[in-house]
Structure 1
Amino acid sequence: MKEIVLNGKDLTLESLIRITRNGAQVCASLEAMEDVKKSRALVEELVAGGRPMYGINTGFGRFSEVAIPEEDINLLQIKLILADAAGVGAPLPTDVVRGMLVMRANSLLNGFSGVRPVVINTILDMLNRGVHPVVPEKGSVGSSGDLCPLAHMVLPMIGLGEAEYNGVVMEGAEAMAKAKIPLIELKAKEGLALINGTQCMTSVAAHVLADAITLKKTADIVGALTVESLRGIKNAYDPRIQDVRRHSGQREAAENMLRLLEGSEYVTTQGELRMQDSYSLRCIPQIHGASRLAIDYVASVVENEINAVTDNPIVLVDTGDVFSGGNFHGQPVAIAADTLGIALSELGNISERRIAKLIDPALNHGLPAFLVKHGGINCGFMIPQYAAAALVSENKVLAHPASVDSIPTSAGQEDHVSMGTIGARKAAQILENVRMVLGIELMCAAQALDLQEKRKLGAGTEAAYKVIRGAVEFMEEDRVFYKDQKLAAELIADGTLVKAVEEAVGTLR
């Protein structure tokens, strides 16, 4: 796998995922490192001159007016890490922690943070040799950056905290020693430069976004299979309808539906069996399309933030200025993360409505109640719909925006915070729930197809049907079902479903 070169400016979401999930090796651009050296030289010059600079020779937050003696400047950075490592909760997933490391190194490589090259090289060594700090998921208010989780990320670099190495969690110093990575002694500004940023919330959001890009295609695939199982009306997906509405997401979803259903003998035309379908079928382009637009917006924010300088203060080599600003504030990512959660929640909402339609004999156009041959002695898909209803109801709670909340910290010095990391973590849970709901719909649609006269499936839906039937067999009578639900969700999570369909019809929008 080709090594990925970081320069602070052009890291893509795709490359980020290659590093965090596929183990791609990373290195720093030589040109970027030259800028890092110049930035560091300016910091050392200004420190030697005794110029007051926030977080370099002053305290932090409310203590910004407290001058730090020259002999304690390095100690200040170490104490900052110790003080901020106050996280709680379960550890963040490994891919998210790797994302934090990648993005922090990438941000520092812009040359506005005043750290030594050894700091960046240590992060890159940790990535390449698989030293992953144990970072508790809770404790950040999203401003001044993700102080708490990023402090936990730094602990192993200075021989503290815990890290996972070769699949085993151990003391941070031990992990670094086994990986043969020297510990670092933090110098002026370096502790602050390592933790004053949005890399935790952005890493969580980026990984949810990467999975959401797959999930939006999955929603179209599963929806199309349901349309077939209910002998839905394909006219609703005609491009002329979408063109007069003008929304790109709607056009994309409708285009996917027609490609997936191409050649299907299950779908009908307007007036053939009925004049209109219910909204959960007819309005798939409009509803899925709206989520697509939201996902596109989130992508623009996340891909920008991956390469952003979110430090404070900012060191400007050209002018010699050190400006204290607010680039650490997570509000852009916070609003995007909340938007992502809402967009994903809606994909789950409409999926659950399609499940409810499939199992209801008053709505499913002649299919057996709860999609089982011998109802009464068998409950069929009655209770899987309960599970889907529970998940989408939970998502409605989780979709409440975190970014509209704020609580003052640091004795009022930090009087507005973003809660962006909470928003991103909520979006991750919503994503997991929606996968499960779509998995249940996928099983229901396949069951419904098997309960009626066999016809030719669409070009894409046939591939989807084969995938689900390769993992979950037809329900002849009630059986323990939770394992099947998990299998269906895994086909969605690992991309198996989308990959099989795209092999049949080409890349979906």
Structure 2
Amino acid sequence: MHINGENLKIEDVEKVAIKGEKVELSPESIDKIIKSRNYIEKIIQKGNVVYGVTTGFGKFCNVMISSEDTKRLQKNLIKSHSAGVGEYFPEEVVRAIMLLRTNALAKGYSGIRLSTLNTIIEMLNKGVIPLIPSQGSLGASGDLVPLAHMVLVMMGEGEAIFKGQVLPGREALKKAGIEPVVLEAKEGLALINGTQVMTAVGCLSLAGAIKLSKAADICGALSFEALNGIIDAFDERIQLVRPYKGQIATAKNMRKLVEGSELITRQGEKRVQDAYVLRCIPQVHGAVKDAILHIKNILEIEINSATDNPLIFSDEEKVISGGNFHGEPVAINMDYLTIAVSELANIAERRIERLINPYLNEGLPAFLTKNGGLNSGLMICQYTAASLVSENKTLSFPASVDSIPSSANQEDHVSMGTIAARKAFKVVENTAYVLAIELLCAVQALDFRREKNTFLRLGKGTNVAYNLVRELVPKIEEDRVLSNDIKTLVEIIKSGELIKRVEEAVGGIE
């Protein structure tokens, strides 16, 4: 994959971060990087006052640094800023961080040497993955703390994973055949002053959310069938008089998924209206789709932006200090993603309750089990779903509304964007489990519907989903450990296998 700082997509981030696709700089980017660095060298020779090049950092921006101390300044910057704590980011997140930092620097506005940038690319392509603590970033001035831990390994310090082993940074580089970097003027700042950690976590969270949005329609359609849902609520005419794209797309998906089913009903056949968790699937799932579309647009701007400070405009021979490192656009939208995905879990958990509750499930056995009392069936699965939904609610308090000044009040408003992104990442994970539980319950409910008629026809898409689940997880005849069943089903949701199989049957869903 060619990296040029201009046209990276969320799908590209997935390819590199999860599938391990190799990257290289485009020829145009190489020219821009060299030109930008040449101008930095010119500034140093002249002794001009430029933040981060000939001065200290943050509140020390007025402290002049001699040309003899520029290398030491950059090294000290990385060491002092490596103050992260907490669990390490997963490997796929670190790969995404390295990719996004490369893409931002490839724009040619940061004054980094080509050889230094190539070191990140070599590490990424050869599988040297720095251990980066997940806590410590304020989201302005960029993701200073976690990115510093990435740069430590580039310098031959810190720790990294290489071929499954945790090694000292220098040893990991040596085994991969990569020379450590000795940072020159401006390079330390160029490497750590940006939003790439929050944005990397955000991109992978969004990629997961896109899958969950489609999977939620599939799971919802299975529950809809099992509860003899009224198809009239998905009539296109209803959607067109409130023409949100997500609502229209979800209703279309639902019609496709249950097409041909003998279990769905029409208005007035069994009841006049369904409960909201069935009737309002287009409105709720659709709102999440609209949120995802908006957030995708924001993140694809961010991942192709220069977020360093100062920025080098070598064509005009200008160095301008600004605030592109501030993570507010990402922070607000990560909070938005957290809230949106939480709603997928919220409504799914209520469908789970409706499936297992004998007072609500249209004649199905209590907790979807035979010999209730002796067997608890799927009773406790709803507890797990409720627990996850409740956790999502606590995680949905926005991080972006908080700010604590830093650097002696020089950096007096910060985004907390990395906290927002980390919360979104967790909510996506929790919601995948809730949907897996709905899948387990809905297919079990359909088994009871088909007891009297094995040939009872399911929908065009739901039949495929049903068969895939039953390939992997047998019907629950009596109580058994369900944790492994849930893990099996969450994997087909997160991997996209459920979506792929269903889309092949119905000609795609939106």
Provide the TM-score with structure 1 as the length reference. 0.98
Helix, strand or coil: the match of 2:161?
strand
Partner Cα distance (1:31, 1:382) in 2: 60
- Over the matched positions of the two proteins, sequence identity in percent amounts to 54
Q: Which runs of 5+ in 1 are unaligned?
A: none
Residue 462 (structure 2) aligns with = 461
Alignment of 1:197 with 2:197, yes or no, is: no
Q: Which runs of 5+ in 2 are unaligned?
A: none
Residue 483 (structure 1) aligns with = 484
Helix, strand or coil: the match of 1:106?
helix
Helix, strand or coil: the match of 2:179?
coil
Partner Cα distance (1:248, 1:394) in 2: 29
Partner Cα distance (1:507, 1:197) in 2: 37
Residue 305 (structure 1) aligns with = 302
Partner Cα distance (2:97, 2:426) in 1: 19
Deviation at 1:466, TM superposition (A): 0.8
Residue 250 (structure 1) aligns with = 247
Residue 104 (structure 2) aligns with = 107
Deviation at 1:22, TM superposition (A): 1.1
Which residue of 402, 408, 419 maps to 2:399?
402
Residue 270 (structure 2) aligns with = 273
Residue 472 (structure 1) aligns with = 473
Alignment of 1:345 with 2:342, yes or no, is: yes
Partner Cα distance (1:180, 1:479) in 2: 51
Partner Cα distance (2:320, 2:140) in 1: 17
Helix, strand or coil: the match of 2:160?
strand
* Backbone CA RMSD of aligned residues: 0.8
**1:90-137 CA deviation, whole Å, 9 max, x = no partner?**
110111111111111111111110111001111111111111111011
Which residue of 79, 86, 89 maps to 1:89?
86
1:84-233 superposed matches below 5 A: 84-233=81-230
Deviating beyond 3 angstroms after TM superposition, the runs of 4 or more aligned structure 1 residues are none
Helix, strand or coil: the match of 2:198?
helix
Letter in 2 for 1:490: E
Deviation at 1:508, TM superposition (A): 1.0
Letter in 2 for 1:461: T
Partner Cα distance (1:18, 1:370) in 2: 41
**1:347-368 CA deviation, whole Å, 9 max, x = no partner?**
0000000001111111111111
**1:416-461 CA deviation, whole Å, 9 max, x = no partner?**
1111111111111111111111111111111111112442000100
Residue 57 (structure 1) aligns with = 54
Residue 391 (structure 1) aligns with = 388
Which residue of 16, 21, 24 maps to 2:13?
16
**1:467-498 CA deviation, whole Å, 9 max, x = no partner?**
11111111112111111121121121111211
Letter in 2 for 1:473: P
Partner Cα distance (1:190, 1:480) in 2: 54
**1:327-364 CA deviation, whole Å, 9 max, x = no partner?**
00000000111111111100000000000111111111
Partner Cα distance (1:470, 1:497) in 2: 12
Helix, strand or coil: the match of 1:451?
helix
Deviation at 1:23, TM superposition (A): 1.4
Partner Cα distance (1:87, 1:447) in 2: 46
Residue 507 (structure 1) aligns with = 508
**1:276-295 CA deviation, whole Å, 9 max, x = no partner?**
00000000000000011111
Partner Cα distance (1:45, 1:493) in 2: 50
Partner Cα distance (1:15, 1:292) in 2: 20
Letter in 2 for 1:496: E
Partner Cα distance (1:70, 1:475) in 2: 73
**1:253-288 CA deviation, whole Å, 9 max, x = no partner?**
111001101111110111111110000000000000
Provide the TM-score with structure 2 as the length reference. 0.98
Partner Cα distance (1:360, 1:156) in 2: 55
Partner Cα distance (1:489, 1:88) in 2: 29
1:441-460 superposed matches below 5 A: 441-453=438-450, 454=453, 455-460=456-461
Residue 25 (structure 1) aligns with = 22
Q: What is the count of residue pairs matched by the alignment?
A: 506
Deviation at 1:184, TM superposition (A): 1.1
Residue 381 (structure 1) aligns with = 378
Partner Cα distance (2:95, 2:288) in 1: 28
Deviation at 1:386, TM superposition (A): 0.6
Residue 498 (structure 1) aligns with = 499
**1:294-348 CA deviation, whole Å, 9 max, x = no partner?**
1111101111111110000001112211111000000000011111111110000
Partner Cα distance (1:196, 1:97) in 2: 16
**1:174-207 CA deviation, whole Å, 9 max, x = no partner?**
1111111111110000000000000000000000
**1:60-88 CA deviation, whole Å, 9 max, x = no partner?**
11111111112101110110000111111
Partner Cα distance (2:476, 2:181) in 1: 59
Deviation at 1:146, TM superposition (A): 0.3
Partner Cα distance (2:118, 2:481) in 1: 52
